[in-house]
């Protein structure tokens, strides 16, 4: 998995590339493809995962299967964290 960190539109000091990459490598991370009616639009995915320091992050990203480009990143809301915990509890 290769990440492209050039020209990102969010503060890489608030969420470091290392933390974001760790959230993708979280064995319990959840990746989702939102429904879209626009067939011409690039697919944007969501990743809900935790860093090694247990920081819950939600990232919006694009991928071609090998390269990943994070478009936006922020901490999960309480509802998103609850969804993450529920989905992981279902798998155990």
The pLDDT assigned to 7 comes to 87
pLDDT digits (tens, 9 = 90+) for 13-62: 999 999 999 999 999 999 998 766 666 567 889 999 999 999 999 999 99
DSSP state of 8: -
Residue 20 Rama label (left phi>0; alpha psi -120 to 50; beta): alpha
Confidence of residue 79 (pLDDT cuts 50, 70, 90): very high
């Amino acid at each position: 998995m290769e990440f492209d960190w050039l020209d990102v539109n969010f503060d890489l000091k608030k969420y470091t590339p290392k933390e974001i990459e760790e959230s993708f490598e979280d064995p319990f991370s959840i990746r989702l493809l939102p429904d879209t009616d626009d067939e011409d639009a690039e697919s944007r995915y969501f990743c809900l995962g935790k860093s090694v320091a247990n920081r819950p992050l939600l990232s919006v990203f694009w991928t071609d299967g090998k390269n990943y480009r994070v478009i936006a990143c922020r901490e999960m809301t309480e509802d998103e964290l609850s969804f993450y915990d529920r989905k992981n509890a279902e798998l155990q």
